[in-house]
């Protein structure tokens, strides 16, 4: 199979950026197909760190990068991210980056609404990044979004502004806010249009032509399967579908184009923000995992919650996303533990579950069932072959494979792209 789809199989922050960067060297095109600039990807290349949130990870390598129609696009953030990468020596031009003409725009009014809702929710906060992602998707589904192609037709925008302002004015009034400043919004769009429009292309056509020519396409997901609006821990989820199937609808290629589905999985579990987390450790062990794994959000800087590996959730993610193989990241964070635990099931009111129940109150009350496995004292940091791994680390990996019912294709042992053990090649298997 020529194509590869990379998705997170937990709650995001699994290390997708490094894996996509590692694969991008052999890809012809890298495509972002959902989410927005709430997704943080950190790349470490030759000791230099790049932090991306909207741009596809392949851009650092100069690989043709595409922002698909399934993404919600903040044009002002895009301009800032392009400028930041230019300072680091990465030039982004219409020759190496294409933007779907049909991408919905994230507007200042979306950021306003995101913040107003969170502030008013009290204990019911979802834990959004306040970047307007959810409200932008709502306007897309409500058929009132302003899209990239509209930037070339600003003189014809009045009817669309009528629709979007009617909706947002009513919401803003409920929060005691003034109506949308239409003139300011139009001026903001006019100011950014000339920067954005050179990147706007019919990317579905670009991608279909690439596929006909046998080019290798790498689809890059944002967030993780457990944040999927349908399959995640609702309502503590993102506002888009994060499963592998979205690569098709979010890019303009048919479902057969997904190819090898590579699920990225940490050797333990983390989560940012609110929501259930059955294997969470609120003790010294959780603190140790967080410190060793440097668990702070790329986008928000928020401290991540940490816990033992939850095989139940990853098995569920693999099933709903059709994962072909997983990339196990941050194995080195587990170095030095005398023993490790893996969640293999849950109990709730005397009943045992081998999946996470759907209701949020049940999810919050389940208790993990743990299996204990011996740890290892040797270092795995920087290992690039099985021979360099401690025997007990290999046993841990093999047990993870058994429990999630999915083979390990890659093992990552540090943030450096070359510190990777290749078990199965996603581009050729």
Kindly state the greatest CA–CA separation across the chain.
67
What gap in Å lies between CA 110 and CA 239, rounded to an integer?
Answer: 13
Taking residue 118's Cβ as centre, other Cβ atoms within 10 Å add up to 17
Report helix angle 75-87 to 182-196, nearest 10.
40
Q: Please choose, from the candidates 201, 251, 245, the residue with its C-alpha nearest in 3D space to the C-alpha of residue 225.
A: 245
In the prediction, which pLDDT does 423 show?
92
Output the tens digit of pLDDT for each of the chain's 429 residues. 589 999 999 999 898 878 888 898 889 999 999 999 987 777 777 778 888 899 998 898 889 999 999 999 999 999 999 999 999 999 999 999 999 999 999 999 999 999 999 888 777 777 778 899 999 999 999 999 999 999 999 999 999 999 999 999 999 999 999 999 999 999 999 999 999 999 999 999 999 999 999 999 999 998 899 999 999 999 999 999 999 999 999 999 989 899 999 999 999 999 988 899 999 999 999 999 999 998 976 556 678 999 999 999 999 999 999 999 999 999 999 999 999 999 999 999 999 999 999 999 999 999 999 999 999 999 999 999 999 999 999 999 999 999 999 999 999 998 887 899 999 999 887
Q: How far is CA 215 from the centre of its chain?
A: 24
Q: Do 5 and 248 contact (CB within 8 A), yes or no? A: no
In the prediction, which pLDDT does 396 show?
98
Q: Do 16 and 417 contact (CB within 8 A), yes or no? A: no
Q: Which residues contact 278 (CB under 8 A, 6 or more apart)?
A: 307, 310, 312, 313, 343, 346, 356, 363, 366, 367, 368
Q: What is the pTM of this model?
A: 0.93
Runs of H (alpha helix) within 254-333:
284-292, 311-321
**DSSP 8-state assignment for residue 8:** E
What gap in Å lies between CA 232 and CA 250, rounded to an integer?
Answer: 18
In the prediction, which pLDDT does 274 show?
86
Q: Which residues contact 84 (CB under 8 A, 6 or more apart)?
A: none
- The structure tokens listed for 123 are 């204990």
Q: Which residues contact 56 (CB under 8 A, 6 or more apart)?
A: 20, 30, 31, 32, 65, 66, 67, 97, 220
In the prediction, which pLDDT does 61 show?
85
Q: Do 85 and 53 contact (CB within 8 A), yes or no? A: no
Q: Considering just the CA atoms, what is the radius of gyration of the chain in Å?
A: 22
Q: Give me the torsion for CA of 372, 374, 375, 377, rounded to 10°.
A: 160
Beta bridge partners of 325: 262
What gap in Å lies between CA 424 and CA 87, rounded to an integer?
Answer: 36
What gap in Å lies between CA 27 and CA 29, rounded to an integer?
Answer: 6
- The structure tokens listed for 397 are 């990996």
In the prediction, which pLDDT does 262 show?
97
Going by their DSSP bridges, the two strands 64-67 and 97-100 should be labelled as parallel
Q: Do 354 and 288 contact (CB within 8 A), yes or no? A: no
Taking residue 185's Cβ as centre, other Cβ atoms within 10 Å add up to 19
What gap in Å lies between CA 277 and CA 245, rounded to an integer?
Answer: 25
User: Which residues are annotated as catalytic?
Assistant: 13, 41
Q: Please choose, from the candidates 312, 324, 319, 329, the residue with its C-alpha nearest in 3D space to the C-alpha of residue 397.
A: 329
In the prediction, which pLDDT does 299 show?
59
- The structure tokens listed for 157 are 């925008």
- The structure tokens listed for 278 are 């059955």
In the prediction, which pLDDT does 62 show?
87
In the prediction, which pLDDT does 401 show?
97
**DSSP 8-state assignment for residue 251:** T
């Amino acid at each position: 199979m020529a194509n590869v789809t990379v998705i997170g199989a937990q709650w995001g922050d699994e290390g997708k950026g490094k894996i996509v960067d590692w694969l991008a060297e052999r890809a012809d095109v890298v495509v972002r197909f959902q989410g927005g600039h709430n997704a943080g990807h950190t790349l470490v290349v030759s000791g230099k760190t790049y932090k991306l949130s909207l741009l596809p990870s392949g851009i650092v390598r100069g690989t043709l990068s595409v922002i698909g129609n399934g993404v919600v696009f903040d044009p002002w953030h895009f301009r800032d991210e392009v400028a930041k990468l230019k300072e680091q020596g990465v030039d982004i031009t219409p020759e190496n980056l294409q933007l779907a003409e049909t991408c919905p725009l994230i507007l200042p009014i979306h950021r306003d609404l995101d913040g107003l809702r969170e502030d008013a929710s009290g204990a019911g906060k979802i834990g959004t990044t306040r970047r307007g992602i959810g409200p932008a998707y709502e306007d897309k589904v409500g058929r009132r979004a302003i899209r990239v192609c509209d930037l070339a037709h600003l003189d014809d925008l009045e009817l669309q502004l009528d629709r979007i302002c009617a909706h947002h004015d009513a919401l803003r009034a409920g929060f005691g806010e003034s109506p949308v400043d239409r003139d300011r919004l139009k001026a903001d769009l006019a100011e950014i249009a000339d920067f954005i429009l050179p990147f706007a292309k019919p990317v579905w056509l670009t991608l279909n032509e690439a596929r006909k020519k046998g080019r290798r396409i790498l689809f890059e997901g944002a967030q993780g399967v457990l944040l999927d609006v349908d399959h995640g821990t609702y309502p503590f989820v993102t506002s888009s579908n994060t499963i592998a199937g979205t690569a098709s609808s979010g890019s303009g290629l048919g479902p057969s184009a997904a190819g090898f589905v590579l699920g990225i999985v940490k050797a333990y579990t983390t989560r940012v923000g609110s929501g259930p987390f059955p294997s969470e450790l609120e003790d010294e062990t959780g603190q140790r995992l967080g410190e060793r794994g440097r668990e702070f959000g790329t986008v928000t800087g928020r401290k991540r919650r940490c816990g033992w590996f939850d095989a139940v959730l990853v098995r569920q993610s693999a099933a709903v996303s059709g994962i072909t193989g997983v990339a196990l990241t941050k194995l080195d964070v587990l170095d030095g533990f005398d023993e490790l635990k893996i969640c293999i099931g849950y109990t709730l009111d005397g009943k045992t579950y081998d999946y996470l129940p759907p209701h949020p109150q049940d999810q919050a009350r389940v208790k993990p069932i743990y299996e204990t496995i011996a740890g290892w004292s040797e270092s795995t940091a920087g290992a690039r072959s099985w021979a360099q791994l401690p025997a007990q680390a290999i046993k841990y990996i093999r047990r993870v494979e058994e429990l999630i019912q999915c083979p390990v294709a890659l093992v990552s042992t540090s943030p450096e792209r070359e510190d990777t053990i290749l078990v199965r090649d996603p581009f050729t298997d």
